[in-house]
Chain A
Amino acid sequence: MNVDVVVSVAVSAIAYGTPLVLAGLGELLAERSGVLNLGVEGMMLIGAVTAFFASQVLPGPGWAVLIAAIVAAAAAGAALALIHAFLSITVRVNQIVSGLALTIFAGTIGLSSYAGQVWGVGGQHGLHQLVKLDVLGLSGVPIVGPILFNQDAFVYASWGLVALVTYYLYHTRFGLYLRAVGESPRSADAMGINVSRYRYVHTIVGGAFAGLGGAYFTLAIAPIWTDGLTAGAGWIAIALVIFAFWRPGLLVVGAYLFGALSSLGFTLQANGVQLPSELFSSLPYVMTVVVLAVASTTMAQRRIGTPAALGVPYVREEG
């Protein structure tokens, strides 16, 4: 196996992984506040179609259109997430049901497809696309060049967001409060933290990020729109968050790992190694189950940091 293979696997891993990183960060924030959002796939699709539509109809210079399209995608994802937040937090509906309702509502044969048809963007060729940049002129550098210095703005933005979310979680007051809300809403409430507000904000922001992840598909990966374009990326993002045990750093690693694994399988076979790619692809999920099972004592759960209140509506005790 030569270096070129490694580089190409890495580059495709990043391309595969970027929407996962974006949507995953959003889901991470929502779950850290205690809200399980299974509607990510729907939000990504809405983001994808909204971004595409915006990029087709908005006038102006390329970079401005792209920025506007990205913002529109984020807003669309956030709007959907608002529905989920309202149902889960205020109405206190089962979060699983609410999230799935959103995926059906906005999904492959739902609103995203409907919007695509109403807006007439199916089959059109994208007018604006994100291009790969040449950062500091270093994209020619062997090995590192193509991987680190020859990506599009979105990829760099995703790296920035990971750093931002990490800083937010562990070095700001609000990130601390967020972690408390997800871990023990009662204690957080007793300390005067508004649990509802934190859950709303982070669920909506999560939706915005999911919209961004969807936008990457139509603005960077391929300049077209079809129904169900994201092909399950939203679901993988949900699994990723759990696999990364709600840590942004592990999330990025996991996202690129997933990407590498799926292309690695084919690569190995091309080199005569007879292991099915599905085996590799299923490893992260199996590992996650094993870790969850082994770490089921309360002590170990603390160490992992499962947001203890994940999926449970918070009801302040009366009286």
Chain B
Amino acid sequence: MISIERSLVTPRWQRIALPIASLFIASIIAGIVLAVSGHDPIGTYQQIYDASFTSAGALTATFVYATPLLFTGLAVALAFRMRVWNIGGEGQLYMGAVGASGVGLLLGGWPQPLLILMMMLGGGLAGLLWAMIPGLLRAYLRTNEILVSLMLNYVAGLFMYYLIYDSTSFWRDTTSASALVFPQGKDLLPAADWPGIAVGSFTMPFGFIAGGVFAVALLALIRFTRFGFEMRVMGDSSAAANYAGIRTRRTIVTVMALSGAMAGLGGASQIGDFGHVLDPRGLQQAGYGYTGIVVAALAMYNPLAVVIVSILIGALTNAGFALQGPTFPIGLVGTMEGIILFSVLGGEFLGRYRIRFGRAPEPAPSVDDEAGAEVAR
């Protein structure tokens, strides 16, 4: 008889080899899909690689797509590790964009370094506060944070729309010529543009560097601080955390706050690094918050891995838009991303379990057995 049982130990090599193997399998499956629908697999992959990394301006464009994913991916990696299911990154990013653009418009005249700092603070704070709603509700009322954070995504989206398309708010551009034709947000002053670091012909956005710093900081937080220790215990066994005297409710709220701040910073980066204007439609179509969840999952919720995965997914997205045309369907992007995800998720299954032949021995009954607890067979 064949039974599948949980493997106790995942050797370290397996933890890295498995995703790589999955990626390899994913590229084969995607290649088959391509071939079947009349495209040349190898050629397409070459095109993608070229458009993501090597052709002129490709790397810069890749980082444009990677930066928001880095932030939202970090937000989710932090929360999901602790089994706090924050799927409100989308809304937290929107609020972060609102906060940062508001600050940027308000403090337009300030010296640039200070202005950038304030924009980051504004965006991070807005995201943090938005995330505190589901965080507090979960910690103190035990409300399901999946449902609440999801609902708040819609509310945040509608709020953004209201600011730009349906009101004469501070954020809305009411004067310029194009704004009279179609509603749009106020442009931020050039001083509010976040600088990019130029390396040869490639420019890395300030936001990505900041995000990378945050990734390292988060990793350090989780691994080296006492608070990170509490997080890890809580994420592993909430009963043990309670037993150890860890203040679980405070920890949940803090993690949600940090997570929201990360997503909010992603929104701030959208304003400071790229658009320089609050663009609700663009943000909603991009879906960075939801994609961030997938990025974090692929990265196995490790902050440093999130950096790498965000570049990968950013590269794929960039290539898709850059190559889009009659010979290169944009639909390939999502299809390939999906295949990668399914392969990695499915591959994790193989890593977690092992197949045993023969009948597994019955374990000894515990005292619960004597106390009459049910034992399902």
Query: Which residues does A use to contact B, with CB under 8 Å?
Result: 36, 38, 83, 87, 91-94, 96-98, 100-118, 186, 189-190, 227-228, 232, 235-236, 238-239, 242, 276-279, 281-282, 285-286, 288-289, 292-293, 296, 306, 310-311, 316-319
Contacts and interface: CB of A to CB of B under 8 A. Distances in A.
Given A98-B345, A236-B154, 7 more contacts: A111-B331, A186-B376, A285-B155, A289-B137, A292-B148, A293-B143, A310-B144
A242 B162 contact: no
A115 B33 CA distance: 11
B151 A239 contact: yes
B329 interface: yes
B338 A109 contact: no
B159 A319 contact: no
B152 interface: yes
A238 B149 CA distance: 13
20 contacts: A94-B297, A97-B297, A104-B290, A105-B334, A105-B337, A105-B339, A108-B334, A109-B330, A115-B331, A236-B154, A239-B151, A242-B151, A276-B162, A278-B158, A282-B159, A286-B155, A310-B144, A311-B85, A318-B363, A319-B375
Contacts of B331: 109-117, 227
Interface residues of B, number: 55
A106 B330 CA distance: 12
B333 interface: yes
A293 B137 contact: yes
Given A109-B333, A276-B166, A285-B155, A100 B374 contact: no
B162 A111 contact: no
B22 to A, nearest CB: 13
A96 B148 contact: no
A310 B145 CA distance: 12
B180 interface: no
A285 B149 CA distance: 11
Contacts of B210: none
B45 interface: no
Q: Is the interface of A mostly helix, strand, loop or mixed?
A: helix
Given A105-B334, A238-B150, A100 B294 contact: yes
A186 B375 CA distance: 10
A296 B144 CA distance: 8
Interface in B1-56: 37-38
A93 B348 contact: yes
A103 B146 contact: no
A182 to B, nearest CB: 14
B242 interface: no
A277 B284 CA distance: 18
Contact of B137 (A96, A113, A296, A311): A296
Interface string B149-179: 0111011001101100011000000000000
A242 B335 contact: no
Contacts of B320: 109
Q: Is the interface of B mostly helix, strand, loop or mixed?
A: helix
B141 interface: yes
B308 to A, nearest CB: 18
Nearest to B349: A91
B333 A110 contact: yes
Contacts of A100: 290-291, 293-294
Interface of B: 37-38, 80, 85, 87, 133, 137, 141-144, 146-148, 150-152, 154-155, 158-159, 161-162, 166-167, 284-285, 290-291, 293-294, 297, 317, 320, 329-335, 337-339, 341-342, 345-346, 348-349, 362-363, 374-376
- Residue of A36, A228, A316 with most partner-chain B CB within 10 A: A36
A264 to B, nearest CB: 14
A189 B374 CA distance: 11
A213 B237 CA distance: 41
A94 B346 CA distance: 11
Nearest to A36: B146
Contacts of B162: 276, 278-279
Shortest beta-carbon contacts, A-B, top 5:
A105-B338, A110-B334, A114-B331, A113-B331, A296-B141
Contacts of A106: 334, 338
A53 B53 CA distance: 36
Contacts of B159: 278, 282
A318 B3 CA distance: 12
B174 to A, nearest CB: 16
A15 to B, nearest CB: 21
Contacts of B374: 186, 190
Nearest to A86: B346
A190 B375 CA distance: 9
A96 B85 contact: yes
B141 A293 contact: yes
A282 B85 CA distance: 22
A296 B143 contact: yes
A97 B294 contact: yes
B151 A189 contact: no
Given A100-B294, A101-B338, A289-B152, A114 B332 contact: yes
A292 B151 CA distance: 11
A286 B154 CA distance: 9
A235 B87 CA distance: 13
B150 A104 contact: no
Contacts of A286: 151, 155
Contacts of A279: 162
Nearest to B140: A296
Contact of A83 (B141, B155, B158, B342): B342
Contacts of A292: 137, 143-144, 147-148, 151
Contacts of A319: 362-363, 375
A91 B345 CA distance: 8
Contacts of B297: 94, 97, 101
Given A91-B349, A293-B148, A296-B143, A104 B332 contact: no
A51 B150 CA distance: 29
A228 B286 CA distance: 12
A282 B337 contact: no
B334 A239 contact: no
Contacts of B158: 278, 281-282, 285
Nearest to B146: A311
A93 B330 contact: no
A91 B87 CA distance: 21
A282 B94 CA distance: 15
